[in-house]
A = this chain, B = another copy of it.
Amino acid sequence: MQDQDRIYTAALIVIGDEILSGRTHDKNIAQIASWLQVQGIRLAEVRVVADIRDAIVEAVNILRARNDYLFTTGGIGPTHDDITVDAVAHALGVEVVIHPEARAILESYYATRGGLNAGRLRMARVPQGADLIPNQMSGAPGIQIGNIFLMAGVPHITAQMLAALTGTLAGGLPLLTNTIGGWIAESEVATMLGEIEKAHPDCQIGSYPFFREGRVGANFVIRSTKADHLSQCTEALCAALEQHGLAFERGGI
């Protein structure tokens, strides 16, 4: 199932006016990004789109074609502004149908919670040909069709769905990282970082500055799929920082 030499990529579409209005701070980008890394899949791009069918359709069709996997979050709930299922079905050119197993799950879940009304039944709608992604938390399942995974917008529920998918997707070698951080202005070490990266072709070094407690600092993240190369690059960076008399901490600050 694994082809470790190739890089597997995923894209994510975050669907929801609440993110674009600034009202809700997205948590799913970081959550899904971290989960994908463990699966050996690289998150290549993210788009945040409004609750507008054509905007979702455009993003779905471009991103599913150029990535191994496409995830969406949001818009699969019971209300009128939940249009992800319809948009994905439209993008794929298939009908929206009631999934019998999803209906049964919802009937059972809502048996003690007031019964299955029209809004709740909306959550059994799927693009024709889809499978379900289990969700222990609120009954309403996620949806898989082809290489597309439709997940909840509420981060706790998304986490349940990711747990159900863990280990089921083909991936490559996970990207390994080391972090070195210090109260260092990245502009002091910019040339050094570039030279060390160039000398270690299987590694990338990212430099992430921050302001904290009124001081500037930076974390340098070394990434590679090869543990020995990662280690060599990390040691080269530590040696160079020492040589310049710059204090640092392994693991980052």
Contact = CB atoms under 8 A, between A and B. Distances in A.
Contacts of A79: 186, 189-190, 193-194, 207
A112 interface: no
Interface in A129-152: 137-138
A6 interface: no
A128 to B, nearest CB: 23
Interface residues on chain A, size class: 35 or more
Q: Which of A23, A45, A209 has the most CB of B within 10 A?
A: A23
Interface string A193-205: 1100100000011
Interface string A9-25: 00000101111111111
B34 A22 contact: yes
A211 to B, nearest CB: 5
B47 A45 contact: yes
Interface of A: 14, 16-27, 29-37, 42-51, 55, 77-82, 110, 113-114, 117-120, 122-123, 137-138, 153-154, 156-157, 175, 177, 185-191, 193-194, 197, 204-211, 216, 221, 223
Leading 8 A-B pairs by shortest Cβ distance: A119-B190, A22-B33, A22-B34, A80-B194, A46-B48, A78-B187, A79-B207, A78-B190
